[in-house]
């Protein structure tokens, strides 16, 4: 079994997900997710162990992004560099896609140059099309229907803080976008009771197929999964409150009609909101967090937040996936 304590020898790397295409987190089994998390924990807790420092030497990662990124881009670039590989960052407008080339044709060309492809795209259909036309490993760096690597980083941070995942009550609040959809797919698999707390206008935009998939998984796992439109009700009994950006246009400049109906004051996480949860509740935000909108400064700087730990874990979830999928 993989260990995550400092000073432990480097774990053996299996071939379970080697060469895998992962356009969304749902392609991974519980056992595969456990393996990724365990390796990510080892990388985190043994950061300066050089055993795998040259693992991906000579390998090239392409990062195709349709809008700007801080945490996701830095995480991918740092992870690849720490494994000895190199990165090519490609804003979409700097490629021929900016002049109308199709995703399929772009992917076929990139396949001649890259050893791994990660993309932040406007649609899941584009992500799926890229995966269909690439032979190298593929990772989702955020679409409206998935955010694989960040979700695994969140789970690592929660496990680090709480000592477990199984049986925890996790509340998500924010946009009905990639992170939420990934949680819907993966929380039941990991034995987590999950509540999506979103404004009514956002609840209508949750992908019905992914929601149904999550509910089926929850029924099989014996966990709870529900969508509610009242933040204060949702946090009652919560072990962990995980937030995402509340207003889409503040993240990527992409105006969404449903955000106009959001009553921000009802969805800002405050100390008073957290007081309704368990006494040892913790809060984090996937970023960027807009103070006074997503949460108050008192919450974001307070003793119940683990925002920096979450950002750190997101680096090592990417590193684990690259090590297991690309070598």
pLDDT confidence of residue 275? 98
Residues 86 and 103 in one domain: yes
Whether residue 45 is found in the same domain as residue 137: yes
- The answer on 99 and 39 residing in a single domain is yes
What pLDDT score does 6 carry?
65
Would you state the pLDDT for residue 250? 67
Evaluate whether residue 154 is within a structural domain.
no
Indicate if 95 and 129 belong to the same structural domain.
yes
Q: What share of the chain is helix, strand, coil (3-state, %, to 5)?
A: 45, 15, 40
Domain span at residue 51 reads 21-146+312-326
Query: What's the pLDDT score for residue 254?
Result: 66
pLDDT of 9: 85
Q: What are the backbone dihedrals phi and psi of residue 43, each rounded to the nearest 5 degrees, phi first?
A: -60, -45
What residue ranges of the chain have pLDDT lower than 70?
A: 1-6, 250-254
Report pLDDT digits (tens) over 73-100.
999 999 999 999 999 999 999 999 999 9
Same domain, 274 and 319: no
pLDDT of residue 95: 96
Residue 104 sits in the same domain as residue 170: no
For 39-69, write each residue's pLDDT tens digit.
999 999 999 999 999 999 999 999 999 998 9
| Residue 184: inside a domain | yes
Are 69 and 186 in a shared domain?
Answer: no
Quick check: is 7 in a domain? no
Q: What is the CATH number of the domain that holds 278?
A: 3.40.50.1370
Nearest Cα to Cα of residue 116 among 98, 102, 130, 129: 130
Same domain, 207 and 296: yes
Whether residue 110 is found in the same domain as residue 127: yes
What gap in Å lies between CA 73 and CA 80, rounded to an integer?
11
Q: Are residues 134 and 239 in the same domain?
A: no
What percent of the chain has pLDDT above 70?
96
Summarize pLDDT for 250-275 with one digit per residue, the tens.
Answer: 666 667 788 888 999 999 999 999 99
Write down the pLDDT at residue 142.
96
Q: How many domains does the chain have?
A: 2
Task: Please check whether residues 290 and 317 belong to one and the same domain.
Answer: no
What phi and psi values does residue 303 have, to the nearest 5 degrees? -75, -10
pLDDT attached to residue 289:
83
On whether both 174 and 300 belong to a single domain, the answer is yes
């Amino acid at each position: 079994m993989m260990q995550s304590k400092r000073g432990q020898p480097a774990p053996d790397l299996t071939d379970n997900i080697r060469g895998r295409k992962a356009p969304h987190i749902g392609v991974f089994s519980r056992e595969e997710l456990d393996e990724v998390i365990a390796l990510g924990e080892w990388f985190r807790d043994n950061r300066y162990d050089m055993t795998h420092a040259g693992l991906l030497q000579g390998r090239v990662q392409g990062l195709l992004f349709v809008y700007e990124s801080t945490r996701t881009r830095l995480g991918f670039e740092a992870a690849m560099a720490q494994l000895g590989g190199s990165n090519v960052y490609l804003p979409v407008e700097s490629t021929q896609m900016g002049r109308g080339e199709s995703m399929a044709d772009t992917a076929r060309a990139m396949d001649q140059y890259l050893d791994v492809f990660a993309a932040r795209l406007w649609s899941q259909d584009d992500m799926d099309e890229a995966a269909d036309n690439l032979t190298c490993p593929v990772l989702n760096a955020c679409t409206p229907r998935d955010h694989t690597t960040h979700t695994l980083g969140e789970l690592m941070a929660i496990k680090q803080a709480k000592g477990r995942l199984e049986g925890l009550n996790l509340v998500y609040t924010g946009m009905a976008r990639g992170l939420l959809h990934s949680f819907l797919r993966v929380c039941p698999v990991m034995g987590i009771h999950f509540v999506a707390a979103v404004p009514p206008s956002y609840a209508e935009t949750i992908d019905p197929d992914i929601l149904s998939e999550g509910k089926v998984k929850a029924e099989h796992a014996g966990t709870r999964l529900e969508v509610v439109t009242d933040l204060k009700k949702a946090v009652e009994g919560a072990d962990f409150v995980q937030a995402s950006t509340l207003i889409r246009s503040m993240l990527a400049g992409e105006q969404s009609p449903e955000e106009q109906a959001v009553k921000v004051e009802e969805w800002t996480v405050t100390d008073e909101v957290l007081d309704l949860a368990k006494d040892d509740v913790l809060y984090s935000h996937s970023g960027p967090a807009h103070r006074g909108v997503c949460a108050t400064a008192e919450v974001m700087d307070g003793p119940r937040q683990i925002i920096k730990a979450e950002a750190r874990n997101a680096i090592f979830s990417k590193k684990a996936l690259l090590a297991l999928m690309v070598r």
